[in-house]
């Protein structure tokens, strides 16, 4: 989470059409440069628009959202994306394990069948060997 930076300018609550001042925009951009990973299109760590606004003592975190969307990229942070990826990987791993378990069971059955065939073949070989030794035509 970003360390709190004090700015002397605060947003007023007069109406929803209030825009950030130039100084507030620059403060937001400055902090976003520190906490937003533009290469991966996400906040670093657990940071959010609200955390940036709180850090700058700005009451309208929507301003941060607008500036971030315009100049940096989409919402989301590293921790959320890692959690989402882990969930997807967990599901994929579970599916792969189920498929592997099924294949292992099939392989066990195939080995049992091969052992049975091997045993039967050995018995036939022993019979033929005995006949050959006995001089069978």
Of 120, 121, 116, 18, the closest CA to residue 63 belongs to: 18
User: What are the tens digits of pLDDT across the range 87-124?
Assistant: 888 889 999 999 999 999 999 999 999 999 999 999 99
> Can you tell me the distance from the alpha carbon of 11 to that of 24, in angstroms, rounded to the nearest whole number?
9
- Spell out the residues 6+ positions from residue 4 whose beta carbon is closer than 8 angstroms to its own: 54, 55, 57
pTM of the model: 0.48
pLDDT at 10 over 50: no
Statement: residue 72 has pLDDT above 70:
yes
Collect all residues with Cβ–Cβ distance below 8 Å to 10 and sequence separation of at least 6. 57, 58, 59
Virtual CA dihedral for 2, 69, 24, 54, nearest 10 degrees? -40
**pLDDT cut 70: percent of the chain above it:** 87
């Amino acid at each position: 989470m970003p360390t709190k930076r004090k700015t002397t300018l605060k947003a007023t609550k007069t109406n929803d059409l209030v825009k950030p001042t130039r100084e507030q925009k620059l403060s937001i951009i400055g902090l976003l440069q520190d906490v937003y990973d533009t290469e991966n299109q996400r906040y670093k760590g657990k940071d959010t628009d609200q955390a940036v606004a709180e850090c700058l003592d700005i009451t309208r975190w929507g301003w941060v959202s607008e500036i971030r969307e315009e100049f940096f990229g989409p919402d989301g942070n590293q921790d959320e994306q890692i959690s989402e990826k882990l969930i997807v990987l967990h599901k994929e791993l579970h599916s792969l394990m189920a498929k592997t378990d099924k294949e292992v069971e099939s392989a066990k059955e195939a080995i049992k069948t091969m052992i049975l065939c091997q045993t039967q073949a050995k018995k036939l070989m022993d019979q033929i060997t005995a006949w050959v030794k006995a001089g069978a035509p």
